[in-house]
Structure 1
Amino acid sequence: MLKKDLVVHSTLANQVYQHLKKRIINQELKPGTRLIVSHIAAELGTSLTPVREALTSLTKDGLVEMIPHKGACVAKPTRKNFEDLFVVRKVLEGLSVRLAASRLTPADIQTLDELIDRGDSILSAGEAESWIEMDMKLHGFIAQKSGNELLIEILSGIQDRIHIFRLLTVGWPDGVKRASQEHQAIVSALRRGDVEGAEKLMMEHIENTLRVGLENEE
């Protein structure tokens, strides 16, 4: 195969991957939905190979699972999946806020305050999905400010799974109110320069998010 053909093929596989990933994350494709290669290829007007490669990548991401005698399906996260995810998330985000604490400027603190204020407005308006987006931005902003490229990369790599957890388990409005209060406490600790306090509050926040989320799922 010519190099040009390889590039085109790779681009097609990535386009299929991004298309399916977006639909899974947005819950257009619900957990347990079968992903039939021939149907997807026909829908997108592509050959079978890019679809198979996209499904392989999504399986590695944990968004798709291969079930014997059934084929590819949108992954249906279990309680254990979420518990494992949040054990890792708690450690990573605790480290993230610890590293960010010494690097945050007054302007950065103001940005965090503005995100929290925006979240409160969204909460008042009853817009659950918009609040989830704000939540992702706040946690992502702190991660970026850690200055640790590897940590940022690892956190980015599990964001899709975290986002699915948010969508499946968001506790509206009580759970969101609790999370908003915890965000405020974390930012207040950062404003005071209380590094250990901010780390402790972040880790407790992640633990509470898992606990409340699993309660909402039951």
Structure 2
Amino acid sequence: MGVSTASVREQLEVARALKLVEVKPRTGIKPLPYNFSDAIHISLNYAIEVNPELFRDFSDLRKKIEAAYWYEVAAQVTGEDIHYLNQLVDRAMEKLRSRPPQIPQWEHRELHITLYKRLRNPFVLGLLEAYWDMYEQAGLNSFVDLAYLEAVWQYHQSIVSALEKGDLVGGYKMLTEHMNLLYQRPHDDSRQKFE
């Protein structure tokens, strides 16, 4: 094909880094299912390491995408989804009430991903998955203030309750108010900053 072995290795390494292919000895090269999250994760990781403040811009993008797709998503949520979302809220509240309180980070991620999973839009889902990966990396899964976390989960409870009642407008209002809480979050100045 007129391509050097070194060039093929470099190109293959890029494809592996983007998780487009899997390379194993004796079995060869296998294409992997496309995942937008994998494709953008490397760039986001670099951006936030260089300038942690960029997470705020990415968070704003995520907020606007969730809001834009809310009505489409809300119309697709099933009774089974609502049951699972209620379980997540209950589990999160238990964690917050435990002594010492625990951060319901997994439940937070799972609740938002579950809300949007029926879209079948790999770009929306990939962006949300990348957001939650970066949320942890940006240090926002650290315990800052119990009152703040309780407010977040009260909003989640209201969102799920609105979905259960078929109140899509009320659910949208709760979702957008909830996402604005991130900007009111108390800052943890002890967190390490990248120089």
Say whether the fold is shared (TM-score over 0.5): yes
Match of 2:151 among 172, 178, 201: 178
AA matched with 2:127 = I
Report the equivalent of 2:13.
10
Aligned partner of 1:138 in structure 2 is 111
Q: Calculate the aligned-residue CA RMSD, in Å.
A: 3.2
Q: Deviations over 1:150-169 (max 9, x none)?
A: 32233234333233345366
**Equivalent position to 2:67, from 94, 109, 115:** 94
**What corresponds to 1:64 in structure 2?**
46
Choose between structure 1 and 2: higher helix proportion: 1
Shift of 1:60: 5.2
In 2: Cα distance, 1:99 partner to 1:12 partner? 33
Matched with 1:77 is 52
Matches within 5 A, 1:1-218: 1-2=4-5, 6=9, 10=13, 14=17, 61-64=43-46, 74-78=49-53, 81-125=54-98, 126-128=101-103, 131-165=104-138, 167=140, 170-212=143-185, 215-217=186-188
Shift of 1:58: 8.6
Unaligned runs of 5+ in 2: 19-38, 190-195
Please tell me the residue identity of whatever aligns with 1:150: F
Higher relative contact order (CA 8 A, sep 6+): 2
Structure 1: distance between partners of 2:15 and 2:125? 27
In structure 2, C-alpha distance between the alignment counterparts of 1:217 and 1:82, rounded to whole Å: 15
Structure 1 segments, 4+ long, off by >6 Å, are: none
Shift of 1:188: 0.8
Separation (CA, whole Å) in 2 of partners of 1:2 and 1:9:
10
Could you tell me how far apart the structure 1 residues matched to 2:50 and 2:133 are?
A: 12
Contact conserved, 2:62 with 2:127, CA < 8 A, in 1?
no
Q: Structure 1 residue 198: deviation in Å?
A: 1.2
Q: Deviations over 1:59-95 (max 9, x none)?
A: 9523235xxxxxxx943412xx243223212211113
Q: Deviations over 1:130-184 (max 9, x none)?
A: x111100111111112343332233234333233345366533121111110100
- Answer whether contact 1:97 1:146 (CA < 8 A) is retained: no
Conserved 8 A contact 2:144-2:188: no
Cα gap change, 1:9/1:89 in structure 2, threshold over 3 Å: closer, same or farther?
A: closer
Q: Comparing 173-182 with 118-127, which one deviates more in the overlay?
A: 118-127
Cα separation, 1, equivalents of 2:41 and 2:97? 38
Change (3 A) 1:191 1:12: closer
Contact 2:70 2:172 in 1 (8 A): yes
Paired with 1:8 and 1:182, the residues of 2 have a C-alpha distance of 46
SS at match of 2:187: helix
Gaps spanning 5+ residues in structure 1: where?
Answer: 16-56, 66-72
